Structure formats: C-alpha cells, structure tokens
A and B are shown apart, each in its own frame.
Chain A
C-alpha cells in the first residue's frame, strides 16, 4: 500500500479523498492555490503545499507543480479527483516518468476513450450499440447534409473534443443545419481549441443512465449497478440517483455487461463510468466513457456499500478486487443533489462570497460530502459547487423524504445557494414518479415552473409573523449597515459576531 498520496484537486472531492486516505492509514497531501489557503481540504489533509496563484491554469492545472509538490512531500501516488487534470493523459505519463503511481487508468486507456468518436469506434468493435449517426468528424457541408438525411431529423451536432454542452446544437430541420454547424464549430474551437463536430440522431426524451465499473490490474472487471442522471440543467447533471427508477434486472445486466466489455476492450483499469442514453423503449445507446471518479459516485457507494475512492487506491496499489460480480448486491435507493453557490432566482448566477452562517443537515440516511464551512469565503476562481447532499432510504420514496428533510435543514447565509431549486424539483409529480429525461429540468424551468416561486412551502400566517418578527429584530440589531458580520475580505469575524457568539454561550434558556 502507498505511504503518502498527493491529492491534485480542491474542494469537496479533495476532502473526500483525504478522508479515504485517513481511513486507510495513508498520509494525505493537499495542494492549494493562493486563495485556498484556508480551504477545508487544506485543513483536513495531513500536509499541504502551495502551488501558485488563484487561476487554475497557474496552479491546479500545472503538471510540473503537482509533480514537484509530490516529489517534495515524498508521495508515492497521486489522486487527481475529477475535473482539473483528472482526464489529462499528460499527468498520467508524467507520473510514470516520475516513478509516482497515478490513481486512475493508464494514459493509453484515457486516450482510447478520451475523444467521443474514438470511444464510439471501440464500442462498435465490441458490438455495444451507439446512437445512430457518424463515428467520425464531419469534413464538409455536403457530407453533413448527406449524413443528416440518412440519420433522419432531428439530429444533434456535438464537439469531438466536447463536454459540458459546449459546441452542441440540436437541429430540427435541414434549413437550420448550416447555421448550427457554424455556431457549434466556432464554440467548440473557442472552448477546446478543436472545432471538429460529429452528428447523432436526436433522441426524444432520453434518459441518462451510466454504469460504474471497477477494473483491477489483474483482468477483473465488475459493474456496480447504474446511476440515473437525467435531471440536468443545460447538460450539467444536477440530481443523480441509484438505482434508476426505470431499471429492470435484465436491462441492468445487459448494460453492465456492455460496460464491462467496453472497459476490457479499452484496456481500462481503475474506476470508470460508461455513460448511456436510454430511450422510451428501454433501448440503450453508448455515449462516452468518463475515465475518472465521478462527482456522483456517492449514490453508488450508498446502494452497494462500497468505498469507491478506497477501491481506486487499492487497485492502483496493485491489489485484486475484493469482490466478484455476483457479490455486488444493490440495497435501497440513494439520491444526490449538487449544492452550488448560485442564485436560482437570478439565472443561476454564481454567488461567491463569505458564508456567514450555516446549518448542516444530518440524521438517518443523510451524507454531506462537503468542502466548505461557515466563515470561509467561496472564491470566484473555481466551480461554485459547495458540496453534495446525499440521502439513502430503503426505497425511493424514503430517500426522497429524507432528502427533503435534509434540504429543509440546510442553509448557508451570506451567499445564495440552489437549495430551493432542489426542494422545488423533489416536490414535482414528475420527479416523484421518476418521469424524467435529460431535458426535463430545462423544460420545467422554461415552462412548468410556477410563476410565483414564493408560493412554495408554508406561507402560513404564523410563518409570516415569524418573518416579520425576525426582520424587526434584524433591523433593531443591525439595521444601520448591511455590511455587518464580516469584513469585506472575510479575513476575520468582526467584533459583532464574536459578541454574538458570547451572547449565545451566556444566554440562559428562556422559559
């Protein structure tokens, strides 16, 4: 086993990995940019080293700095987390050269699945179904029209190097094709430095269902069931759950075996995710392989009683998978919400800033994978995800009820969060019936949302009285300046806050 692991990441995933290290008796090493000195991952890890300025291209994305910190600290392995360098084969190669184990697949396997078209070639070779369309980048406008006609409208254009919805356009009819191609191509060129596009059949109300696989270095590959990630906003997953509400044991076996077949064909090792679209007739089509740990891995952990980060580390250390496919048993249901510092009432605008007060939910079935704390300032240099709230229940209804309870308990003041959006989604009949598809949330936000969002929740007379009472108390105590609480830079709590805390300690319970 490794002695010391460098975590080449920040935020909740760095905290998550440091915790797994601690569980395994392995020392953890954090790296941090200038704005992350006080971040939770630095506080939780055993050691931490600075790697430069706030912009990630000068810190978290600089391979030399990561390798340098790992060498300096004497690390024998690097865990990349997700995002940043996680799917960059250059880091995996640099690790090999430095004699440090990369906790993930080999650079070759990453490249094999790195571009969507390359991955689809692998899928076709092993007879895993793909969405009808091209496998290769489209070279010319004539070719584009010919392939679109052959596939049948509607079609969707996607960036070869793409992800996160960039360089993606759906096209209803032939007259819109040329303009969509131009737009998507220039968007892809800007985002990825690669303007090449391919074309797929646009499926009506497809679901996003992905299979988690684990592959050791001895040829053993298992699948750990599926995750349904159909609740997405502009192609970004928002809520994930396991199992999928539409899954059958037979479909799970088929999709799981397809995923294992693909992983084997790509020489894949460590944890990976094979993403599929599933249509209304429960036909599944291969989408892509994510060659890393996924944000939503906890829902799989909850229903399979596994620790995927621990498994990743064990696999990288050369250990054999401790269980076989027939040992994988699914138990209960888990749902995850990605909590972001963003304002759902203001076009989901990011809302960085200092967290003044915070309440963390807990209790039966609740797990909070978190990277923040009250008093900490959410920097505006990175993805504004604060953490993930996960609920487990013996069935889907219980998981929903527990998640609703936890969302009601959760708050973070000083910043805006998207918690109210989850409360709203979970209350919809569509979500409760599992009647969701990849564009469901976009459709809901555009059309289905109640015009008066304030109409949700309890607006009883008593609640209004409490609101008025609290507003009056706030005014009496703070009314002079909205800037109370912390200094603008959040460097230290003001005396007001210190006094407030003192007051709480000294206060006798009222009778």
Chain B
C-alpha cells in the first residue's frame, strides 16, 4: 500500500507492507526499522530503532491530527490507489458493488450472511491485517448477493470478499 502523506505540509512517500508476521513501513524509499502495535482506537505504540513512541491519530477538519507525548503534527493523506470510493464519506455507492480487501490479511469474522439486507457503512467483515483488526464496511445499502470468503481465510489485497446489490 503506497500513500503520500503530507506532515505539516511536507510530502512524504509512505509504503506499508506485511511480510509474514512483521509489518514493514518505508518512508521516502527508506525502510524503517520499526514495529507498530495498535493500543486502542487511533492509538499506536511504535518502536523505531528501539525508541518508544506512542502516537495518537485523530481526524481533524479535512485531515488528521497526529500527536506524540510532547508534539503534534497535521497530516494529510493522498492514496493513489483510491480503493475507497467514498473517502470523503459523502455519497453512497450505486449499483452492484464488489467489496474487496484493502490489504492482505485474515478474515477473522464475517458479520453478515448471504441474502441479508445491509445498511451503508454497516460492518461486513473483520479483517486482521498488520496486527490490527479492522472492519470492512458496506459501500451501499442493499442486499448481500454473495459472500466470497469465510472466517479464517487469508486474503490478498484487492481480492473480492462480497457482492452487494
């Protein structure tokens, strides 16, 4: 996953990848010797070269407020892949929608059944990726036409998980 993140206005290329159990992050082409664990919603414990930092991330206006113990930054993210259609959270997707995995991971829970009626943004799956569990939500209100994965299954980035009509 490649992102462009502007930190206090300065743009950086950030790349996330999972290699085995380890999560890797490269910034501006240089791999970080770093380890991250999610502590709570938006709270990450990050070890960089042994230095321990606890970082909080919160939406703030159109961007993000990123804070460590004694410092704050403003971050803006550009995702070149734009795999999320409704990043701004405004309109609802229309027509037949394929829900795909945003990144490689494991399906730890399937929250809906085939044929079930769902609301926009209703949780469909819980995917564990990069040691964190995240919910994948429905892009639209409608019906679960097909479920393409089951609990415990490992999926690749972009792999289709469900069809919502």
**Bound Cα distance from A477 to B127, whole angstroms:** 10
Q: Does B151 touch A at the CB level, under 8 Å? A: no
**Bound Cα distance from A465 to B44, whole angstroms:** 13
Partner of B16, one of A457, A472, A494: A472
Q: Does B109 touch A at the CB level, under 8 Å? A: yes
**Bound Cα distance from A456 to B108, whole angstroms:** 42
Query: Chain A 466-499 against B: per-residue CB contact (8 Å), 1 yes, 0 no?
Result: 1111111111111111111100000000111101
Q: What residues on A are CB-neighbors of B111 within 8 Å? A: 495
Partner of A467, one of B22, B66, B79, B87: B66
Contact residues, B83-140 vs A (CB, 8 A): 84, 86-87, 89, 102-103, 108-109, 111, 121, 123, 126, 128-135, 137
Query: Chain B 61-76 against A: per-residue CB contact (8 Å), 1 yes, 0 no?
Result: 0001011111111010
Q: What residues on B are CB-neighbors of A423 within 8 Å? A: 70
Check B137–A480 contact: CB distance below 8 A: yes
Chain A nearest CB from B122 CB (Å) reads 9
Q: Does A446 touch B at the CB level, under 8 Å? A: no
Chain A nearest CB from B56 CB (Å) reads 5
Looking across the interface, which residue of chain B has its beta carbon closest to that of A483? Answer: B89
Check A457–B69 contact: CB distance below 8 A: yes
Check A468–B14 contact: CB distance below 8 A: yes
**Bound Cα distance from A476 to B34, whole angstroms:** 17
Q: Is the interface of B mostly helix, strand, loop or mixed?
A: strand
A479-B84 contact in complex given A458-B71, A467-B68, C-beta closer than 8 Å: yes
Q: What residues on A are CB-neighbors of B79 within 8 Å? A: 475, 479
A478-B134 contact in complex given A462-B51, A496-B123, A510-B37, C-beta closer than 8 Å: yes
Q: Does A464 touch B at the CB level, under 8 Å? A: yes
Partner of B3, one of A466, A470, A472, A483: A472
Q: What residues on B are CB-neighbors of A115 within 8 Å? A: none
Q: Does B141 touch A at the CB level, under 8 Å? A: no
Query: Chain A 447-463 against B: per-residue CB contact (8 Å), 1 yes, 0 no?
Result: 00000001011110011
Q: Does A34 touch B at the CB level, under 8 Å? A: no
Looking across the interface, which residue of chain A has its beta carbon closest to that of B40? Answer: A357
Q: What residues on B are CB-neighbors of A472 within 8 Å? A: 1, 3, 5, 14, 16, 25, 77
Looking across the interface, which residue of chain A has its beta carbon closest to that of B103? Answer: A476
A470-B44 contact in complex given A411-B56, A462-B51, C-beta closer than 8 Å: yes
Q: What count of chain B residues pass the 8 Å CB interface test?
A: 68
Looking across the interface, which residue of chain B has its beta carbon closest to that of A427? Answer: B70
Chain A nearest CB from B152 CB (Å) reads 14
Q: What residues on A are CB-neighbors of B71 within 8 Å? A: 454, 456-459, 463
Check B41–A356 contact: CB distance below 8 A: yes
Q: What residues on A are CB-neighbors of B69 within 8 Å? A: 408-409, 457
Check B57–A463 contact: CB distance below 8 A: no
Q: Is the interface of A mostly helix, strand, loop or mixed?
A: helix
Q: Does A152 touch B at the CB level, under 8 Å? A: no
Looking across the interface, which residue of chain B has its beta carbon closest to that of A411? Answer: B56
Q: What residues on B are CB-neighbors of A504 within 8 Å? A: 38-40
Q: Does A394 touch B at the CB level, under 8 Å? A: no
Chain A nearest CB from B149 CB (Å) reads 17
**Bound Cα distance from A356 to B89, whole angstroms:** 20
Q: Does A248 touch B at the CB level, under 8 Å? A: no
Check A479–B43 contact: CB distance below 8 A: no
Check A470–B84 contact: CB distance below 8 A: no
Q: Does B35 touch A at the CB level, under 8 Å? A: yes
Check A466–B87 contact: CB distance below 8 A: no
Q: Does A414 touch B at the CB level, under 8 Å? A: yes
Contact residues, A262-292 vs B (CB, 8 A): none
Query: Chain B 138-153 against A: per-residue CB contact (8 Å), 1 yes, 0 no?
Result: 0000000000000000
Q: Does B8 touch A at the CB level, under 8 Å? A: yes
Check A414–B58 contact: CB distance below 8 A: yes
**Bound Cα distance from A479 to B64, whole angstroms:** 10
Partner of A470, one of B22, B66, B103, B131: B66
Partner of B132, one of A469, A473, A479, A482: A473
**Bound Cα distance from A467 to B132, whole angstroms:** 17
Q: Does B160 touch A at the CB level, under 8 Å? A: no
14 A-B pairs whose Cβ atoms sit less than 8 Å apart in the complex? A357-B56, A359-B54, A408-B69, A454-B73, A458-B70, A458-B71, A466-B46, A470-B44, A472-B5, A473-B38, A476-B134, A484-B41, A495-B126, A499-B135
Known: A480-B121, A499-B108. 19 other contacts (CB 8 A): A357-B40, A357-B41, A357-B43, A414-B58, A454-B72, A454-B73, A457-B71, A465-B27, A465-B48, A466-B48, A469-B44, A471-B14, A472-B1, A473-B36, A476-B130, A477-B38, A482-B59, A483-B89, A495-B126
B residues lining the A interface (CB < 8 Å): 1, 3, 5, 7-8, 12, 14, 16, 21-22, 25, 27, 32, 34-44, 46, 48-49, 51, 53-59, 64, 66-73, 75, 77, 79, 84, 86-87, 89, 102-103, 108-109, 111, 121, 123, 126, 128-135, 137
**Pairs of residues from A and B, 6 with the lowest C-beta to C-beta distance, nearest first:** A482-B59, A457-B70, A457-B71, A470-B55, A474-B57, A503-B133
